[in-house]
Amino acid sequence: MAYFDNIVEFEPNLDGSDIRIGIVMSRFNIDIGEGLLSACTAELKKNQVQDSNILIVTVPGALEIPLAIKRMAMSDQFDALIALGAVIRGDTYHFEVVANDSTRGLLMVQLETEIPIANGILTTDNEDQAIARMSVKGMEAAQVALEMANLHFKIDEIGM
């Protein structure tokens, strides 16, 4: 906790030692999904999240992620959730529908349940872009989940 002119300010906290994480990964574009998952879980473990505090489930595609995330959020078993997948542009409008609606679904679940959700669903023009981004995006999704879970704990603690 830092102070700025007598105002309390919370610093980012990535300590995952007591954080319970749920991950939902799309199996569509599975190689990208597994790259995201590998980077994500490595970052969680680097920040002290125990294997026993991580649950990974898979779903067919990105449009199914919000429903699985919602079920996990409603279970009261997780401090934060992570969505992982890849939506790669094709020749039809379907790309926009999937990209927009999966993101909208995650936002709706997050706001409704007040469980932090890190969106690690890549939306790229081609597979090469997805491959180039998967390690960083997986790592960042883990960091977002940890930071937001810890922020929620801190906000609950101060009881203002």
Active site residue 152: no
> How high is the mean pLDDT of the chain?
94
Model confidence, pTM: 0.94
Is the model more confident about 89 or about 4? 89
What residues does 26 pair with on adjacent strands? Answer: 59
For 126, residues 6+ apart whose C-beta sits below 8 A from its C-beta are 88, 89
What's the domain range around 154?
2-158
Task: Report the CATH number that the domain containing residue 9 is assigned in CATH.
Answer: 3.40.50.960
Q: How many domains does the chain have?
A: 1
Residue 2 has pLDDT above 70, yes or no: no
User: Would you call 3 exposed, middle or buried from its count of C-beta atoms within 10 A (0-12, 13-18, 19+)?
Assistant: exposed
pLDDT in tens, 46-101: 999 999 999 999 999 999 999 999 999 999 999 999 999 999 997 776 788 889 99
**Which of 27, 46, 71, 94 is an active site residue?**
94
